[in-house]
């Protein structure tokens, strides 16, 4: 019987974001399906520690601080409870480089997971541990659908991070533009483009976790991460033209006043249920788009001003760019239907590609363990 290899994964599982925690779960379960013993390193960025969130969101304003506290308490209940129940977390929590020295990890291979792990803007700077800086050079390193979240990086960032990335045995990235960055800016030519982990499993996989239907009537689900009056006006007009009620997935309590029936900071698996049972999902979110495609719900996509390449990449990859609206006068989008049979065929091909990538990683690690040397 071959050895069951142990893989430690570092990703953005501790942020207060539905897509982030679900991609962490998907990564864990995919690796388990391949016979791996998986641990999610309980890495918590300093700025997303719950004790620091009030300061972050209020900007030091005491009135704003009082307003955000109920939401933060709810976030803690929803996301921390989810992580403890569904993610196989490391015994220790890590925030600083010193933490990794104080509580050394011991695995056969180390993985930088998906989401915007390499987005220095989103992460408020370059975070070396997300480039596996704490892993000894003789250990196997790989990236699974990692993202820069940007179309181009500064020369300074390339110079600072290239030594880390050159230590990876294999790299897969989530967006086509990320592969271009690796090819052209880093001159790292052997990376591959994979879909997000949430798409590496089927809609039926997610329905196993789905909570009961929340809304009896047909509805348009709004999942809007970037506040916009134009977006809201469009949603109201879309509701009038389709005759469908609006349901707003609110990630904060202070969003209750915006158009639509408010679902205030729901449980994590409500995210799946609300998307699966909607007629349309109006969104500027990558993961809301990804889940819509996977669950056969028509997305209506508005690219955000920053990091919009993520949405464009998945729409292009699934031949569904007609679901993007260029302006807030485009109501014909409801008639530009998705060919979900074709989407399924494309995603099945991508799942095979992802599984082959993981199989190759496992083969590499087993060879390395037999030889006792790095196979890079």
Q: Which domains does the chain have, with CATH numbers?
A: 6-201+348-371 (3.40.50.11720), 204-337 (3.40.50.2000)
Residue 284 CB partners (closer than 8 Å, separation 6+): 224, 225, 226, 231, 301, 302, 303, 304, 311
Q: What is the pTM of this model?
A: 0.94
Q: Which run of H or E residues covers position 109?
A: strand 109-112
Q: What is the DSSP letter of 186?
A: S
pLDDT on residue 372: 63
pLDDT on residue 2: 60
Phi, psi of 94 (to 5 degrees): -125, 135
pLDDT on residue 1: 44
Question: Residue 174: which of 189, 191, 152 has the closest Cα?
Answer: 191
Residue 123 CB partners (closer than 8 Å, separation 6+): 45, 116, 117, 130
**What is the residue-level pLDDT of the chain in tens, covering all 376 positions?**
466 899 999 999 999 999 999 999 999 999 999 999 999 999 999 988 888 888 888 877 888 888 899 999 999 999 999 999 999 999 999 999 999 999 999 999 999 999 899 999 989 899 999 999 999 999 999 999 999 988 899 999 999 999 999 999 999 999 999 999 999 999 999 999 999 999 999 999 999 999 999 999 999 999 999 888 999 999 999 999 999 999 999 999 999 999 999 999 999 999 999 999 999 999 999 999 999 999 999 999 999 877 667 889 899 999 999 999 999 999 999 999 999 999 999 999 999 999 999 999 999 999 987 776 555 5
């Amino acid at each position: 019987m071959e050895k069951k290899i142990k893989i430690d994964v570092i990703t953005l599982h501790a942020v207060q974001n539905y897509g982030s925690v679900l991609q962490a779960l998907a990564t864990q379960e995919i690796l388990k399906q391949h016979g791996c013993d998986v641990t999610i390193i309980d890495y918590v960025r300093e700025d997303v520690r719950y004790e620091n969130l009030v300061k972050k969101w209020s900007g030091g304003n005491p009135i704003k601080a009082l307003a955000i506290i109920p939401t933060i308490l709810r976030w803690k209940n929803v996301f921390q409870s989810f992580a403890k129940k569904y993610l196989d977390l490391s015994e220790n929590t890590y925030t600083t480089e010193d933490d990794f020295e104080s509580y050394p990890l011991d695995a056969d291979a180390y993985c930088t997971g998906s989401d915007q792990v390499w987005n220095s803007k989103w992460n408020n700077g370059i975070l070396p541990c997300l480039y596996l800086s704490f892993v000894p050079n003789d250990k196997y390193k790989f990236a699974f659908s990692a993202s820069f979240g940007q179309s181009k990086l500064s020369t300074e960032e390339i110079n600072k991070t290239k030594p880390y990335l050159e230590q990876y045995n294999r790299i897969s990235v989530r967006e086509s533009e990320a592969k271009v960055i690796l090819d052209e800016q880093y001159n790292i030519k052997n990376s591959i483009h994979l879909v997000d982990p949430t798409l590496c499993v089927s809609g039926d996989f997610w329905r196993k976790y789905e909570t009961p239907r929340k809304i009896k009537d047909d509805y348009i689900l709004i999942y809007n991460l970037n506040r916009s009056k134009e977006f809201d006006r469009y949603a109201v007009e879309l509701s009038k033209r389709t005759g469908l009620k609006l349901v707003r997935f609110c990630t904060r309590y202070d969003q209750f006043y915006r158009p639509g029936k408010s679902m205030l900071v729901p449980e994590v698996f409500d995210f799946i249920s609300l998307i699966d049972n909607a007629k349309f999902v109006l969104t500027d979110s990558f993961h809301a788009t990804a889940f819509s495609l996977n669950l056969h719900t028509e997305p209506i996509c508005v690219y955000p001003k920053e990091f919009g390449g993520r949405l464009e990449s998945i729409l292009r990859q699934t031949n569904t760019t007609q679901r993007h609206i260029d302006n807030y006068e485009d109501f014909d989008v409801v008639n530009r239907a998705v060919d979900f049979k074709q989407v399924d065929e494309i995603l099945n091909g991508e799942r095979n590609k992802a599984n082959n990538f993981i199989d190759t990683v496992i083969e590499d690690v087993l060879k390395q363990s037999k030889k006792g040397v790095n196979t890079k």
